[in-house]
């Protein structure tokens, strides 16, 4: 369990002091996988490092398991080496002067734990590196270093596991593979995990819960599915991947509401009134044969990109206005040709502006 309450930290940036963390509180349930997702500079790494004790917040409380590790009120600030944590760093931080075995055994040795050899070998087997135990760590590939770092982080059975963008240094194919493996490993060891990334697909596929961060604040917290399907904020909707956002004026109807937007009048299943932002993922915009009923629009093809499995088409009403992205399984379209697009009212979400 990780409990964070009202943690704030400011950095001096030139003359002024900038909020890195603006009073954040959250809780990670035992054995679950919690991800901090956000663009660079949003404070996600700072937050993780505060939990690790590598940085000291200006105020707040942090609890790991049943121990308070930081409290500005009580004047508690445990050193990182007393927090019983495991951490994987962005650079892996594998000590190049030690072998794989020595790297992984290090936490057990310095914490004076029993059974160093057996436990180290077990951790190495878990990540599939048993055969490389005596290799010097600097002679490993990126993926292998990653595994050593993971084995070293879990070998002492820490209370929590902290992962700071561990996959960002790997190439795309390896990243996907390690991502799948990481999830499998998590399901086996069930450590309470706090994960930091700027990559939404990592966050979606690994996490039990995700916190989307911006400017030192949580914008939205939820399960991957909720955040993907029903985001409540423009920022979260866009950060999780290619969202169409349309602004307009909503009028509540008996069922759902109608919204007047730059893309014409749209019907949504949600109830709303007043100025709103609408959101629909490109895969929920489909091309159909005939304009038949509400939310059907005859559009002009502005541009198109071939993505492999799908084709991304950008559409616009014949008389201009906002551009709508559409992901569909269609053949190449003639430039400027006219097509009919359908926006499914069930997938047209009404967003709220996030508090800034």
Minimum distance, C-beta of residue 156 to other proteins, in the bound complex (Å) = 7
Contact 220, 236 (CB under 8 A): yes
Cβ proximity to other proteins, 103 vs 261, nearer residue? 103
Cβ proximity to other proteins, 109 vs 125, nearer residue? 109
Cβ proximity to other proteins, 152 vs 214, nearer residue? 152
Minimum distance, C-beta of residue 186 to other proteins, in the bound complex (Å) = 18
Q: How far is it, in rounded angstroms, from Cα 87 to Cα 191?
A: 12
Positive or negative, the CA dihedral 111, 112, 117, 119 is negative
Cβ proximity to other proteins, 98 vs 269, nearer residue? 98
Minimum distance, C-beta of residue 239 to other proteins, in the bound complex (Å) = 26
Minimum distance, C-beta of residue 85 to other proteins, in the bound complex (Å) = 5
Question: Element (H or E) spanning 19, and its range?
Answer: strand 16-28
Residues contacting residue 287 through CB under 8 Å, at least 6 positions apart: 313, 326, 328, 330, 339, 340, 341, 342
Cβ proximity to other proteins, 85 vs 350, nearer residue? 85
Binding interface with other proteins (CB under 8 A) = 1, 3, 5, 25, 27, 52-54, 61, 63, 66-68, 71, 74-87, 89-91, 93, 95-97, 106-107, 110-111, 136, 138-139, 149, 152-153, 156, 162
Contact 78, 69 (CB under 8 A): yes
Alpha helices in 111-223 (DSSP H): 116-126, 142-154, 172-189, 200-206
Minimum distance, C-beta of residue 93 to other proteins, in the bound complex (Å) = 4
Minimum distance, C-beta of residue 87 to other proteins, in the bound complex (Å) = 4
- Could you tell me the CA-to-CA distances from 203 to 15, 157, 199, 322 in Å, in that order? 35, 24, 6, 30
Q: How far is it, in rounded angstroms, from Cα 194 to Cα 98?
A: 27
Cβ proximity to other proteins, 93 vs 245, nearer residue? 93
């Amino acid at each position: 369990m990780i409990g964070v309450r009202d943690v704030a930290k400011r950095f001096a940036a030139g003359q002024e002091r900038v909020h890195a963390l603006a009073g954040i509180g959250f809780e990670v349930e035992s054995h679950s996988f919690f991800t901090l997702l956000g663009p660079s500079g949003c404070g996600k790494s700072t937050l993780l490092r505060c939990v690790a004790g590598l940085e000291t917040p200006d105020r707040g409380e942090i609890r790991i398991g049943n121990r308070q590790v930081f409290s500005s009120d009580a004047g508690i600030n445990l050193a990182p080496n007393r927090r019983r944590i495991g951490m994987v760093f962005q650079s892996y931080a594998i000590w190049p002067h030690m072998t794989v075995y020595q790297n992984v055994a290090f936490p057990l040795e310095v914490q004076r734990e029993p059974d160093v050899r057996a436990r180290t070998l077990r951790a190495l087997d878990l990540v599939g590196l048993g055969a490389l135990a005596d290799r010097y760590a600097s002679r490993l590939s990126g993926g292998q270093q990653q595994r050593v770092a993971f084995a070293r982080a879990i070998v002492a059975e820490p209370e929590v596991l902290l992962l700071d963008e561990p996959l960002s240094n790997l190439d795309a194919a390896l990243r996907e593979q390690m991502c799948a493996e990481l999830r499998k490993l998590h399901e086996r060891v069930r450590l309470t995990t706090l994960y930091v990334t700027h990559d939404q697909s990592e966050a979606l596929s690994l996490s039990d819960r995700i916190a989307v961060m911006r400017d030192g604040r949580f914008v939205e917290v939820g399960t991957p599915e909720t955040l993907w399907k029903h985001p409540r904020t423009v920022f979260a909707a866009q950060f999780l991947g290619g969202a169409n956002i349309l602004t307009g004026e909503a009028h509540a109807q008996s069922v759902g509401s109608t919204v007047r937007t730059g893309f014409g009048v749209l019907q949504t299943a949600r109830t709303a009134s007043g100025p709103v932002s609408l959101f629909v993922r490109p895969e929920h915009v489909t091309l159909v044969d005939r304009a038949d009923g509400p939310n059907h629009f005859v559009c002009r093809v502005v541009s198109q990109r071939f993505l492999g499995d799908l084709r991304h088409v950008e559409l616009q009403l014949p008389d201009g206005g906002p551009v709508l992205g559409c992901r569909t399984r269609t053949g190449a379209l003639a430039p400027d040709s006219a097509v009919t697009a359908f926006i499914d009212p069930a997938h047209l979400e009404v967003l709220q502006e996030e508090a800034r």
